[in-house]
Amino acid sequence: MADAFNAIAKSGDRGSPRMRPAPWWKGAVFYQIYPRSFRDTAGDGIGDLAGILERLDHVASLGVDGVWLSPFFKSPMRDYGYDVADYCAVDPIFGTLEDFDRLVAKAHRLGLKLIIDQVYSHTSDEHDWFRESRSNRDNRKADWYVWADARPDGSPPSNWQSVFGGPSWTWDARRQQYYLHNFLSCQPDLNLHNPEVQEALLETARFWLDRGVDGFRLDAINFAMHDRQLRDNPPSGVAMEDVTRPFDMQAHVHNQSQPEIPAFLERLRALLDGYGEIFTVAEVGGPDPVDEMKSFTAGQSRLNSAYSFDFLYAEEIRPQTVREALAHWSDAPDEGWPSWAFSNHDAPRAVSRWAGRHDRAQVSRLLMLLMLALRGNAFIYQGEELGLPQAEVAFEHLKDPEAIANWPRTLGRDGARTPMPWAAGEPHAGFSAHAAWLPVDPGHHAYAVDRQEASARSCLSVTRELVALRGQSDALRLGQIEMIAAPSDILAFERRHGDQNVLCVFNLGDAAVDWQPGVAGGGRRLADQDGRVNDGAIPGRLAPWTGYWADISGR
C-alpha cells in the first residue's frame, strides 16, 4: 500500500472511484473558516467574503474535501453571527449575496464542497419574526417563539438557566409575558413545536441549497425544542465552586434534548435528499451527548453525522480519552458516522490545552497525525494547520459576552478567534491594513503562512502531506477501527478497509516508551509527526509526543 500511496502522490490523482467511494462526505476532511477573522479586504478590520475568496487557494492547497463556513448572515453581532436577524441575507460587513455566489463557484472550481451553519434553535431579537411575535398575543407569529406567563409571584415560568449566565427567561412588557432564551437575552428561542416555524426554517434551507451549498452544520440543535409543560430542571449535583455559571448546576432534561427533535430532522432530511448528496453534521453539547448524537444520525432518514465536545473542552489528551470517545461508534447497521474536532471557534485551541511543557510545533503536528487517523470526519479549524496557539487577549479587548460576564474565571472564546496570520512582516500579520476587531497576538506573527511555506517540516507542510496520505487511503478514510493493547501512555489501533490495513501508534505521554506492536512481516512506516517518511522502518522506541502510521496490509 505504501507504494500505491507514493504513486498516487506523485501523479496527484485523488479522484479515482475506488478511492472516492460514495458518499463524498464519508471520511472527508473539512476546514472551518471563521469569517470575521480569516481575511479583511474592506479595510475595516473585519474579515469578509471577498477575503475568503482571495485566500481560498490556501485552503484548497491543504487537500481538504470541503469548507465549513461559520455564520455570515445579517446580524447585530451581539453573539458574532449566531444571533441571526435574517437567515437569507449576508451581513453588509461580510459583503453581498453576489460575493457569496462567487465564493460557492470558486470553491467548486477548486474541488471543494461548501457547508454553512444553520442556527435553528433561536434568532436575534432584531429578526422580523420576533418583532412581530412580541408586538401582541394575537399576531400571525404570536406562537413562533416560546412565550409563557409569569408564576403567581411574578417569577419566571421555570427555573431554567441560560448558557451565558442568569435565568433563561426575560420579561417583555408588550406581551406581559416571559420569552425563553437558552443563550443571550437577545437570542429568543424559536418554537419548533409549531409546524409553521419548521416550514419557515426549511424554506431558509431551500434558499441556500438553491445557491449551491453542499451541506449544513446545525448549531446547538439539541436546544431546538423545549418541554411543553415548562417543568423545572432538577439539580445536576455539581457545586457552584466547581463551575463558573448556574447553567452547569442543572440537569437539562426539560429545556433541551426533547424527543420531538428527530421528527424535525427527518423533515429536513427529506428536503435535502431532493438535492443529491447533501452533508449534515450536528453540534451536540452537554455532559452526556452520545445518545442524542446517535438518535440524530440513526438510519437513513436523519442527519449524516454529529460531533460533541469530547475533545474541544478536554483539559488533556490521554489514550483513554480517545478510546472512550471512539468506543461509542461501532459501525453497527444504521448507526451514524462520527465527526471530530480538536479546536474550533468555541473552545481554547488544543495545542495550548494539551502541549504542556513540550514543543508546541511538534505537539501540533502529532495532533494532526492523530485527528486524521480517527474513524470519522475531521474538522480542521483555521490556524490549526499552522499550529497556532491560543492568543492572549487583554480584558479591555474582549468581545465574547461569556468571557466578559465570567471574567476572570472563564477563558472565553476570543483567544481562539483572533485573526489568521498570513504574513509575518506585515502589520496585523497580513490579515488587514487596519487594526483588527480582535488584536493579533504578537506571538502569532512567527506562525504566519508565508513563513511556514518556506519550511518543509512546518506544521503547514506536514498538514498537507498528512491530508494527502489520508485522502489516498481507503483504510484511513473509511475503514473500521480496532484498538490494540499497549502501555498506558501509548494509543495504538488499526484501520482496516478491504485489503488495506494501517497501523496507527501515538505516544501521548511525557517520557519515551520502548514498545513495538507484534506485526508479522514488520510492516512499513508511511508517516510520522514530521510528515512522510523515507526509511519506512517501524520504530521500537517512541519519544514523547511522537507517532506514526504504518502499512501492515500484507500481514
Q: What percent of the chain shows pLDDT beyond 90?
A: 86
| Catalytically annotated residues | 219, 283
Read off the pLDDT band of 555 (50, 70, 90).
Answer: low
List the Cα angle 254/179/281 in 5-degree steps.
Answer: 55
Read off the pLDDT band of 22 (50, 70, 90).
Answer: low
> Residue 21 and residue 263: Cα distance in Å, rounded?
29
Position 308, amino acid: S
DSSP, collapsed to helix, strand or coil, labels residue 549 as strand
Among 17-21, 48-52, 131-135, which is the least confidently predicted range?
Answer: 17-21
Q: Contact at 8 Å (CB) between 419 and 428? A: yes
Averaged pLDDT for residues 209-225: 97
Whether pLDDT at 521 is above 60? no
Q: What is the mean pLDDT of the chain?
A: 93
Q: Output the pLDDT for position 242.
A: 85
Q: Output the pLDDT for position 16.
A: 37
424-481 pLDDT per residue, tens: 999 999 999 999 999 999 999 999 999 999 998 999 999 999 999 999 999 999 999 9
Read off the pLDDT band of 136 (50, 70, 90).
Answer: very high
Which part of the chain is CATH 2.60.40.1180? 479-551
Q: Output the pLDDT for position 407.
A: 80
> Residue 478 and residue 275: Cα distance in Å, rounded?
24
Cell numbers found for residue 432:
488587514
Domain 20-121+199-225+260-468 class, CATH top level: alpha beta
Q: What percent of the chain shows pLDDT beyond 70?
A: 95
Whether pLDDT at 209 is above 90? yes
Q: Could you tell me the pTM of the whole model?
A: 0.94
Q: Output the pLDDT for position 199.
A: 98
Higher pLDDT, 11 or 362: 362
Which of 409, 407, 366, 414 is CA-nearest to residue 392? Answer: 414
Whether pLDDT at 291 is above 60? yes
Q: Output the pLDDT for position 5.
A: 46
Instruction: Give, in order, the Cα–Cα distances in Å from 537 to each of 85, 197, 516.
Output: 57, 59, 11
Read off the pLDDT band of 523 (50, 70, 90).
Answer: confident
Pairing of strands 541-542, 147-148: unpaired
Whether pLDDT at 145 is above 70? yes
SS (H, E, C) 212-255: CCCEEEECCHHHCCCCCCCCCCCECCCCHHHCCCHHHHECCCCC
The radius of gyration of the chain's CA atoms, rounded to the nearest angstrom, is 24
Q: Output the pLDDT for position 411.
A: 66
Whether pLDDT at 142 is above 50? yes
Superfamily of domain 479-551: Golgi alpha-mannosidase II (2.60.40.1180)
Which part of the chain is CATH 3.20.20.80? 20-121+199-225+260-468
Whether pLDDT at 4 is above 70? no
Whether pLDDT at 8 is above 50? no
Instruction: Fill in the DSSP letter of residue 24.
Output: T
Which of 316, 360, 346 is CA-nearest to residue 81? Answer: 346
Residue 339 CB contacts under 8 Å (≥ 6 apart), including other chains: 281, 305, 306, 307, 376, 377, 378, 379
Q: Output the pLDDT for position 19.
A: 44
397-425 pLDDT per residue, tens: 998 888 887 787 776 799 999 999 999 99
> Residue 39 and residue 50: Cα distance in Å, rounded?
8
> Residue 180 and residue 303: Cα distance in Å, rounded?
26
